[in-house]
A and B are shown apart, each in its own frame.
Chain A
Amino acid sequence: MICVIDTGISNIYSISNALKYIGKHHEISNDKDKIKNSELIILPGVGSFGYGVESLKKLKIFQILKNLNMDQKIIGICLGMQLLFEKSEESKNISGLGIINGDVLKLPKIKKNSLVPNIGWRKTFFNGTDLKFNKYNEVELYHLHSYYCNPDDKGIILSYSIFDDLKIPNFIKYKNVIGIQFHPEKSRKQGIEFLKDCI
Chain B
Amino acid sequence: MFNISNKRLIAGLDLKNTKLIKGLSYEGYKVIGEADLYAEKYYNNFADEIIILDTVASLQNRKNIENFIRHITKKIFIPITVCGGLRNEEDISNMLKSGADKIGINSAVIKDVKKLKKISETFGNQCIVLSVEAVERKDENWEAFYDNGREPSGRDVVEWCIECEKNGIGEILVTNVNRDGTKKGLDRKLIKKIVESVNIPVIGSGGTSGNDDIVDTFEKTNVSAIAVGASLHSEEVNFEKIKKKLI
Which residues of A line the B interface, CB within 8 A? 8-14, 17-18, 20-21, 46-48, 50-51, 79, 109, 112-113, 115-117, 119-121, 123, 140, 142, 144-146, 183, 185-189, 191-192
A-B complex: 5 closest residue pairs judged by Cβ atoms? A13-B99, A117-B126, A48-B124, A117-B170, A47-B124
**Are A48 and B123 neighbours in the complex by a CB distance under 8 Å?**
yes
Give 12 CB contacts A-B under 8 Å: A13-B70, A17-B73, A18-B77, A46-B123, A47-B122, A117-B171, A119-B224, A142-B78, A144-B101, A185-B77, A186-B77, A191-B77
Q: In the complex where A186-B78, A188-B78 touch, is A119 in contact with B100 (Cβ < 8 A)? A: no
Within 8 A of A (CB), among B108-124: 121-124
Q: In the complex where A48-B124, A115-B200 touch, is A9 in contact with B170 (Cβ < 8 A)? A: no
Residues of A within 8 A of B170 (CB): 117, 119, 146
Residues of B within 8 A of A109 (CB): 199
Complex CA gap A51/B77 in Å reads 26
**Are B48 and A121 neighbours in the complex by a CB distance under 8 Å?**
yes
Complex CA gap A173/B225 in Å reads 33
Q: Distance (Å) between the CB of A161 and the closest chain B CB?
A: 12
**Are B123 and A9 neighbours in the complex by a CB distance under 8 Å?**
yes
Residues of B within 8 A of A112 (CB): 199, 222
Q: In the complex where A13-B97, A186-B101, A188-B78 touch, is A119 in contact with B171 (Cβ < 8 A)? A: yes
Residues of A within 8 A of B99 (CB): 11, 13-14, 17
**Are B96 and A79 neighbours in the complex by a CB distance under 8 Å?**
no
Residues of A within 8 A of B122 (CB): 9, 47-48, 51
**Are A47 and B127 neighbours in the complex by a CB distance under 8 Å?**
yes
Interface 1/0 per residue, B68-83 and A, CB below 8 Å: 0110011001110000
